[in-house]
Each structure stands twice: as structure tokens, then as C-alpha cells.
Amino acid sequence: MDADLHFVQDGEKAIRFIEQADGDTSAPCPCLLILDINLPKRHGREVLRRMRQSRCTNAAVLVVTSSSLERDRQEMGRLGANEYFCKPSAYEEFLKLGDIVRRLLGEAGSEKPAG
């Protein structure tokens, strides 16, 4: 898969990344944000909330987390997550993540620009 990847280590840096893209209209918006809920410094819900208030609001968001709590799944869905993937203990189950990423990137690539 041909893709440019950007990694940040905590929620504060993720919000800064979104704000930089928001402040520079020549900067591309991400097609897909892979987000953990339990990030250091800022919670994943804060990152998702900021993403949905930015000019990059249409980016797909895939939550990948160890939390299997239904309230977390519902909250992230209400905030605009496209998918919620609970990290499994079995390697074979974890590989399903690749199919979700490919599908979300395919959906993002098929969107037509407004205008």
C-alpha cells in the first residue's frame, strides 16, 4: 500500500498535528487517523473531538484500543469514529485490522471533492 505515514506519541502532539493542518490550507488532511483512546497527555476523545472540529473533519477515524467497554465504543461513535477495533489477544484476529484499514482508505479514496 502506497501511503505517507505520520506518527505521534501522545494526544497532545496529535492535537498539535491537527491544528497545524487546520492552520495551513495548503497542508493535506489525513485520509485516515488511527487513534488509541488511552493516549498519554490527552485522551483519545479529545483528539477525536478536535479532529471533527477541524477542516479535516471528513478524515476516517479508526479507534484501535484495548478497551472493550461498550460505553467507550458508544462515546467514540458519538464523537464521529468510523470504526472501533478492540485489540485481540490472538494474532490471527489482530490481522483483521489490515482489512479495516484498506477498506477505510478505499472509501476515503473514492470520495469526490466538493464543488
Report domain extents, the chain: 29-109
Which residue type occupies 110? Answer: S
Q: How far apart are CA 32 and CA 71, in angstroms?
A: 23
Instruction: Quote the pTM value.
Output: 0.83
40-59 in b/e form (b: 16+ CB < 10 A) is eebebbbbbebbbebebeeb
- Phi, psi for 88 (deg, rounded to 5): -85, 165
Choice among 14-28, 64-78, 100-114 with the minimum mean pLDDT = 100-114
Q: Does 3.40.50.2300 match the CATH number of domain 29-109?
A: yes
* Mean pLDDT of the region 38-45: 92
* Mean pLDDT of the region 76-82: 95
Q: How far apart are CA 62 and CA 49, in angstroms?
A: 13
**In this predicted structure, what is the pLDDT of residue 108?**
65
Q: Which residue has the cell 477525536?
A: 48
